[in-house]
A and B are shown apart, each in its own frame.
Chain A
Amino acid sequence: MSTPVAQMVESLARRKATVQLAGAANAGRAAAGWMADQGIVRAVLADDPVVDAVGLEPALRAAGIDVFRWPVAMGRREVLGLEGPQDVCGVTVPTLGVAERGTLVLEASVGHGRGLDVTNRHHVSLLMADRVVETLGEALAQTFADGRPVPSAVSLVSGPSRSSDIEKISTLGAHGALTEHVVIITP
């Protein structure tokens, strides 16, 4: 295990995210297994080559989980979980991971809705091990490099949603995902 990945695992744990390491051949099944254990009944997947490379969709179907692909034709109430099933999981593919802070870099695009990580009760990220960089500085330098088109929205996510607004004690599950699970795909 290379150092940045090891550090990423440690940082994610500090951020109260859960982590799993898996090779490309097993990552889809690993993610689907975790989702089934959480009682997740529906998954909304980013339309990204990594999702297909790890065979997530067939694994989810085999686990009996409903699969949707971005972009989805849902009303805003359903997207926000006010209608339809509660235990929905957004699946994202970060362009980068920041080892030092346990941060995922998510870029909005046609295939990658900007609400995927935050509207659903659960969030699973498929992070390629070779996309893990050490510092936030490196990650932002790459994301906003000269000559590269600037994404309309980039979301830096570091762990599940929380609030300390009541008595200054951190409580998980504010507006965003209650659980965040990261599957790091090792070569």
Chain B
Amino acid sequence: MSTRRRRRNPGVAYPDVTGTLRDRTVDALRDPTLADNLRTAGDSWGAGREVMKRDFGFDEMRDRARDIRRSNIRNMPALLAELQSNVRANGGVVVRAADADEACRYITDLARARGARVVAKSKSMATEEINLNEAMEHAGLEVVETDLGEWIIQLANEHPSHIIAPAVHLNRNQVAALFREEAGTDDVPTDREGLVAHARVRLREKFAQAEIGISGVNLGVASTGTVCIVENEGNARLVTSQPRIHVAVMGMERVIADWDEAAHILQVLPMAAISQDAANYVSLITGPRREGETDGPEEFHLVIIDGGRGALRGSEFEEVLSCIRCGACLYSCPMWQNVGGQAYGSPYSGPIGAIITPVLEGPSSPGSRDLPFMSTLCGACGDACPVGIPLPDLLVRARARSSSPAKRKAGLAFRVWSLLWRRGVTYRLTMIGWRLGLRIRGRGGWVHRLPGPGSGWSKVRDMPSKWPPRR
């Protein structure tokens, strides 16, 4: 692995998460509302996936999707060069940022140079990864998330719980409470339609003010220098058409060769993500507005982020670069279904997050080294992934290189065990010791509490004090 390079800002995982992964997981499991909300989400995803397979031939489309993305990653440097020169030829500015610091600095400097005060954002995992909002707020800008789910999360001062559906862990009453607080009035509807309509007007006020619109990028098409932005609400259409400046932030792996490939992925993505055969709005943006056009941004900036991705090519984790961030592996995962995304402490949660967070950060990062263990290795994520990323295998590989203290302890225990049981004499001695121990601790034929590593097991179980138990 060559990803252990020093970064000034090493974070992919959120710097402000509290507690250990275990604490956060336990907290999440104790929250009954969260469990209900996640179950609703998981069930509806599962039902939708069946429809996609039955009516739209989803399974048949996956092989080609995988092949396309593999070849994109293989040719990434050349494709990025082509993308870059075509964006420039169409009047756009391209910036290659090695890390989060560089990307954030470019954008905040741009905002300062143009005298911007209000920034309207559409959904972007890459900006979440580089902590752009914090950097912009630090620079004195008002940043407004305009995707409904992201706005809810912003008002709740939380981190998203799902790549596609960030507020999936909150119900309508919780959302109404947040809207009342934001609007400073109790006059906010509580039904879903009313809440959506309320947000529409509040956010339009922001669109009217914003000087800069910031979007993510789902795909960057090299052959024409076009960025594709996929969404359902229309806020990305407003972000890319109303403010005077549009900044698109793209992870470098999102490059794709041409429109033949892009057409395929643009159909697979909504099928995998939201179980629909089309997204409502797809914006295909090639540079700023042209001569004579009266709407659309006057400036177009494309910020392409490396952030540790480039080094993954040719490594044992190369396949994660194929990811199109559809979120399907999250919904499919029994871990995620029970604890939600926030317990992971990273913008990327679920199986893909449990791999790329520590892989991008390095195997000894305390914020993410435990994440690969957030899996039962049941294989559901591998089956769900539309681009055929072998997520279970990669989880195992990520575990192998993790240097978490829990893993070191477990490794030591297994080594001692194997040492003892390899020889007949020591095997028999441990068994005699074990039986004696049980007899000594036993009360009325049962042992209620085991010492040391057995204590967790015996918390909810008893063990017969005679072993093997006799009738």
A155 to B196, CA, bound (A): 23
From A26-34, A57-65, A76-84, A124-132, the one touching the partner chain is A76-84
CA of A132 to CA of B281 in the docked complex: distance in angstroms? 18
B242 at the A interface (CB under 8 A): yes
Out of B90, B171, B200, B295, which one reaches A174, CB within 8 Å?
A: B200
Whole-angstrom distance between the Cβ of A153 and the nearest chain B Cβ: 5
Instruction: Supply 5 further A-B pairs (C-beta < 8 A) apart from A110-B292, A163-B232, A167-B40.
Output: A71-B295, A118-B281, A152-B288, A154-B284, A162-B232
Most A-side CB within 10 Å, residue of B41, B148, B234: B234
Residue among B147, B196, B282, B285 making CB contact with A173, cutoff 8 Å: B196
- A119 CA / B281 CA spacing, docked (Å): 13
Chain A residues with a Cβ closer than 8 Å to the other chain, count: 57
One of B17-25, B160-168, B380-388, B410-418 contacting the partner: B160-168
> A157 with B266: in contact, given A110-B293, A168-B168, A174-B235 (CB under 8 Å)?
no
The interface centre, meaning the residue of B40, B172, B207 with most chain A CB atoms within 10 A of its CB, is B207
Decide if the interface of chain B is mainly helix, strand, loop or mixed. mixed
How many angstroms from the CA of A65 to the CA of B166 in the assembled complex?
Answer: 41
B208 on the A face (CB < 8 A): yes
* Interface: A97 (CB within 8 A): no
**A168 vs B203: C-alpha distance when bound (angstroms):** 20
Number of A-B pairs, beta carbon distance below 8 Å: 205
Q: Is the CB of A150 within 8 A of B148?
A: no
A132-187, CB < 8 A from B? 135-137, 139-141, 143-144, 150-169, 171-177
Smallest Cβ distance from B183 to chain A, in angstroms? 15
CB distance from A147 to the nearest CB of B (A): 12
Complex contacts, A102 vs chain B, CB 8 Å: 278
Residues of B within 8 A of A119 (CB): 238, 241-242
Q: How far is the CB of A88 from chain B (nearest CB, A)?
A: 13
Taking the closest CB of chain B, its distance from the CB of A125, in whole angstroms, is 14
* Contact present for B279 and A168 (CB under 8 Å): no
A105 to chain B, nearest CB (A): 9
Say whether, besides A101-B277, A150-B226, A166-B192, A175 and B233 are in contact (CB < 8 Å): yes
Which of B75-83, B256-264, B394-402 has 4 or more CB atoms under 8 Å from chain A?
A: B256-264
B149 at the binding interface (Cβ < 8 Å) = yes
Q: Are B296 and A141 in contact (CB under 8 A)?
A: no
Tell me which of A80, A101, A140 contacts B278 (CB under 8 A). Answer: A101
Contacts of B234 in A (CB 8 A): 118, 161, 174-177
A interface residue numbers (CB < 8 A to B): 15, 70-71, 76-77, 79-82, 100-103, 108-110, 113-115, 117-119, 135-137, 139-141, 143-144, 150-169, 171-177
User: Are A81 and B204 in touch, CB under 8 angstroms?
Assistant: yes
Tell me the complex Cα distance, A80–B260, Å.
Answer: 35
| Any A CB within 8 A of the CB of B294 | yes
B362 in contact (CB, < 8 A): no
- Residue B224 CB within 8 A of the other chain: yes
Task: Please determine whether B166 and A175 come into contact, CB atoms closer than 8 angstroms.
Answer: no
Question: From residue B421, how far is it (CB to closest CB) to chain A in Å?
Answer: 50
User: Do A158 and B279 touch across chains, with their CB atoms under 8 A apart?
Assistant: yes
List 30 A-B residue pairs with CB atoms under 8 Å apart, sorted by A's residue number: A76-B207, A80-B208, A80-B238, A80-B242, A102-B278, A108-B289, A108-B293, A109-B293, A114-B241, A115-B238, A135-B263, A136-B267, A137-B263, A150-B286, A151-B286, A153-B283, A153-B284, A156-B278, A158-B281, A162-B280, A163-B232, A164-B165, A164-B232, A165-B149, A166-B148, A167-B172, A174-B196, A174-B234, A175-B200, A176-B233
Chain A CB within 8 A of B175 CB: yes
Task: Give the distance in Å from the alpha carbon of A160 to the alpha carbon of B335 in the complex.
Answer: 35
